[in-house]
Amino acid sequence: QVQLVETGGGLVQAGGSLRLSCAASGRTFSSYTMGWFRQAPGKDREFVAAISWSGVSTYYADSVKGRFTMSRDNAKNTVYPQMNSLKPEDTAVYYCAATYNPPSRYLLPYDYWGQGTQVTVSS
């Protein structure tokens, strides 16, 4: 069982930056692919980014490519999405997720989910 806790959300102006964190419990964090998804009001949850267990491979949605960067520190059981050049359309609840499967843009392969953290970008 893995428990995930996201932190770092908040209110930021357009063009600003935020760094979220997702801390995981358990001793096998380094074996998990970690993903980030977001859900805006009235919309489906969508893929944002994912990082392989080693941190070598990262994947991004087209909407955030070039603006968001994923990293992880397996010694701290934490994954960090750095979000730059934020836009009002980035406003959503952001969720981290974990899976033993390879990185995926789809929700189904992810076994564990955090409770989410709100990111609001004002124009």
Q: With the C-alpha atoms ordered 107, 112, 116, 121, is the resulting torsion angle positive or negative?
A: negative
pLDDT tens sequence for the chain (123 residues) = 889 999 999 999 999 999 999 999 977 888 899 999 999 999 999 999 999 999 999 999 999 999 999 999 999 999 999 999 999 999 999 999 999 999 999 999 999 999 999 999 999
Q: Which amino acid appears at position 30 of this protein?
A: S
From the list 114, 105, 51, 56, the residue with the least C-alpha distance to 82 is: 51
**34, containing H or E segment:** strand 33-39
Q: How many CA atoms lie within 13 A of 45 on its CB side?
A: 16
**Quick check: helix, strand or coil at residue 111?**
coil
